[in-house]
Amino acid sequence: MASGWNRIESPPKRRLEELYVQQEFSAGAIAKLFGVSRQVVLRWLREYGIVARDKYQQRGIDAERIQGRVRDEEREITEMLVGKL
């Protein structure tokens, strides 16, 4: 009996590198191009040894800068609260 799972053939590695690394398409955008889920694209990247970007890199956000801003905000709030004691 045939399985209900149809494994989609992955595109060539150089095509994924072109889209994901060079053109900086997101995994979601690549998924739409190929008509598959984002998880399938992430599996393809893993299989080819292409390192996936984290969620901040995916959105073009510098995680360290954001963490620094959060720390600055926390410090300002703490200073403001201590000043009211």
| 33-43 tens-digit pLDDT | 999 999 999 99
This prediction's pTM: 0.61
| 25-70 tens-digit pLDDT | 889 899 999 999 999 999 999 999 999 987 666 555 566 776 777 7
d(CA 74, CA 64): 15
Q: Helices (DSSP H) in the chain: which residue ranges?
A: 13-16, 27-34, 38-48, 55-58, 63-83
Instruction: Read off the pLDDT of each residue in 13-35 and give the average, rounded to a whole number.
Output: 91
Rg, C-alpha atoms of the chain: 21
- Higher-scoring residue by pLDDT: 5, 45: 45
The domain segmentation of the chain, as residue ranges, is 11-53, 60-85
